[in-house]
A and B are shown apart, each in its own frame.
Chain A
Amino acid sequence: MSIEIKNLKYVYNPGLPGETVALDDVSLTISEGEMVGIIGHTGSGKSTLLQHMNGLLKPDSGHVFVDGECITDDKTDLVDIRRRVGLVFQYPEYQLFEETVVDDVAFGPKNLGIEGEELKKTVREAIEIVGLDYEEIKDSSPFELSGGMKRRVAIAGVIAMRPSVLILDEPTAGLDPTAHRDILSMIRRINEEKEITIILVSHNMGDIAKMCDRVIVMENGKIVLEGRPREIFTQDALLESMGLDVPPALDIMRKISKSIDGFTSSALTLDEAAEDIKEFMKRKK
């Protein structure tokens, strides 16, 4: 499923003291099956942009098309759009409310009218795909789980609606390294096995470089750069001027290249970096 955004503009508190132009003439296209990363400094408008993709916010001007259908019309069935475009908010664990994990995950599908055996199956599938043990966890209260597990239950709650696009706003923020890694591999699994389009917002450049096919860079409500990770992350001066970083692997490789003669590498991920070093050692021998 594709998402197309044309000349989007959104202002918070128009005409009041707190007036903020959060999006200014934003246009972009996301095609089916892609994994797209969105990066940008705090307050650059990433979360605001995401909320337009499933009709939670209505733009002041511009249009959003989901699969060619304009969702900024008044006539569109927003619940159906929200089923197709799943949005996982920042810190989604704060939206849990049911007594058991199963009930909470079932909230979304129930709102869509799914019931009976199919509901059970959907919920079970969603819990398993986020890497939790269904039998073990199904009757526990979501409030007594660890932070990382809560986060996964919350993500399962969106996946259970069987979206064709999954949008995640900083899904790894505040997690320990293991949970962090698990969430990332889960996202990749969903993208590859279920062929769900993924839109990922993150402040972790390493994750973005490792995961995404394409990166969109935002600043002050505008899209300033767009391209493959390699095209984006080789423009360090520009990124730095926007308060952004390059992936740590690239940073280290640059430093090594500078101090060791004959070594060059533009690896973006640790795996690529290891490859380049191995290659260099072989040549030296």
Chain B
Amino acid sequence: MIRDITLGQYFPGKSPIHRLDARTKIIGTFLFIAEMFVVNNFWGFLIAGTALFTVIGISRVPLKFIFRGLTPVFLIIAFTFVINMLMFDGRVLWHWWIFTITYEGLIRAAFMVIRLVLLIIGSSILTLCTKPIALTDGLEKLLRPFSKIGVPSHEIALMMTIALRFIPTLMDETDKIIKAQQARGADFESGNIFRRAKSLIPILVPLFISSFRIAQELALAMEARCYHGGEGRTRMNEIHFNKEDIVAAVLMTIFLGIIIGSRFIA
């Protein structure tokens, strides 16, 4: 169950999308996110969706895997839909007590949900097709120019590397602790909300302690290998742009143009 969370997970592959420089993909993703707020009608979403699913097709990440990443945020999506549906004035379609559903509200709700889903899928493509190490390397390089004005680019990248690196470790740890407590007769599935919250203590306390232990071991291991921060560190694999990145950049620019153009389809 806990393994269903695909957020931040990497899906190994050799597709052109996987091979792109991480910087290209980071910029592309941020551009895509921004574009989702530029779009002002359903034609824009249709274009963006088509482009997105083309990218997914090229990446050969199974659709099943991508949609599984949506399940944990399903509640947020549903909430967005309901709130938007009820909050708009206009032609009334249905009315009961204090609830009113309008035509404009429905349109608006559908619009917001599509935007949200595209945003989530769009950003999960980035992590699915980029090795965590490459991702943080790319981010560090992108942030490097800002270190002149005091942005700790290396530290940010390192923190991200460690966080991403430990998501699976902590999930394994959680899984193990849950099983160990279940073996002692713990029941996490029944009872009211207070009992359920209380039943989390036997999981959270050991998990907390384990995280500190893991963090401490990591810090010691890094120190033992003479880690001293970003200054003067060389890297094993220098990243650089290739032909594919240029192609991607051109396509991304064209896409940006089309999205801006789509605002004028009325």
Contact = CB atoms under 8 A, between A and B. Distances in A.
Interface of A: 13, 15-17, 51, 54, 56, 79, 82-83, 86-89, 92, 94-97, 107-108, 111-112, 143, 157-158, 161
Contacts, number: 59
A158 B186 CA distance: 12
B182 A82 contact: yes
B242 interface: no
Given A89-B179, A96-B206, A158 B12 contact: no
A161 B184 contact: yes
Interface size bracket, B side: 20 to 34
**Central interface residue in A16, A54, A97, A107, by most chain B CB within 10 Å:** A97
A1 B77 CA distance: 50
B15 to A, nearest CB: 13
B82 interface: no
Nearest first, the 3 closest Cβ-Cβ pairs linking A and B are A111-B185, A97-B205, A108-B184
B57 interface: no
A94 B187 contact: no
A108 B185 contact: yes
B187 A79 contact: yes
A108 B187 CA distance: 11
A169 B186 CA distance: 20
Contacts of B205: 97
Contacts of B210: 94
A16 B61 CA distance: 10
B177 interface: yes
A56 B201 contact: no
A166 to B, nearest CB: 11
A92 B181 CA distance: 10
B187 A111 contact: yes
Nearest to B178: A56
Contacts of A89: 176, 179-180, 183
A94 B206 contact: yes
Interface in B158-210: 176-177, 179-187, 201-202, 205-206, 209-210
Contact of B202 (A16, A87, A107, A158): A107
B184 A158 contact: yes
A161 B181 CA distance: 12
A14 B36 CA distance: 34
Contacts of A143: 209
Nearest to A105: B184
B88 interface: no
B241 interface: no
Contacts of A108: 184-185
B11 interface: yes
